[in-house]
């Protein structure tokens, strides 16, 4: 970085060109950041859809819990405002959705074993009536 500053010292035209190229690069990166959406298939599978492809995450009835999270570990999500999905097989998935309440409502509606309390989704106690809350 210091070497570039030394090279550009006293060269206003070169500085403008470098700044313009940097601005174009930022716009390109912003336009190509993967945008991922999530949906529920008719057969009850939660899936991710993005420019890199799509695929199932898990069946909604195999979800143990969904809780808000601000974990910074690797994820498709570029945000720290995420939902942490813990599956019954012990695997954890982090996702970022714009409409958290709508997403959680859709998950609970598609499931026979999940219930929602605010932004937290948990499994219903054994023996409770099926259907969504």
Confidence (pLDDT) at 71: 75
Cβ(15)–Cβ(23) below 8 Å: no
If you average pLDDT over residues 38-65, what whole number do you get?
Answer: 87
Question: 41 or 74, which is more confident?
Answer: 41
In the chain, % of residues over pLDDT 70: 72
Confidence (pLDDT) at 65: 96
All structural domains of the chain with their residue ranges: 2-32, 58-123
Please enumerate in sequence order all residues whose Cβ is within 8 A of that of 117, keeping only pairs 6 or more positions apart, or say none: none
Q: Whole-angstrom Cα distance, residue 133 to residue 124?
A: 10
Q: Whole-angstrom Cα distance, residue 120 to residue 66?
A: 6
Asked if pLDDT for residue 9 goes beyond 80, the answer is: no
Confidence (pLDDT) at 133: 46
Asked if pLDDT for residue 72 goes beyond 80, the answer is: no
pTM across the whole model: 0.65
Which residues pair with residue 46 across a beta bridge? 40, 58
Confidence (pLDDT) at 61: 94
Confidence (pLDDT) at 1: 53
Asked if pLDDT for residue 89 goes beyond 90, the answer is: yes
Confidence (pLDDT) at 131: 47
Average pLDDT score, the chain: 80
pLDDT digits (tens, 9 = 90+) for 16-40: 788 888 877 766 665 555 567 888 8
Provide the 10 A C-beta neighbour count for residue 72: 9
């Amino acid at each position: 970085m210091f070497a570039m500053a030394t090279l550009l010292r006293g060269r206003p035209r070169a500085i403008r060109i470098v700044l313009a190229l940097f601005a174009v690069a930022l716009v390109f990166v912003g336009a190509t950041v993967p945008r991922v959406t999530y949906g529920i298939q008719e057969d009850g599978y939660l899936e991710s859809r993005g420019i890199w492809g799509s695929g199932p995450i898990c069946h909604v009835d195999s979800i143990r819990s969904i809780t808000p999270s601000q974990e910074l570990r690797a994820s498709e999500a570029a945000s720290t405002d995420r939902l942490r999905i813990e599956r019954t097989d012990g695997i954890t998935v982090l996702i970022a959705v714009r409409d958290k309440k709508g997403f959680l409502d859709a998950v609970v509606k598609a499931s026979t074993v999940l219930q929602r309390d605010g932004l937290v989704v948990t499994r219903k106690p054994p023996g409770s009536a099926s259907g969504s809350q």
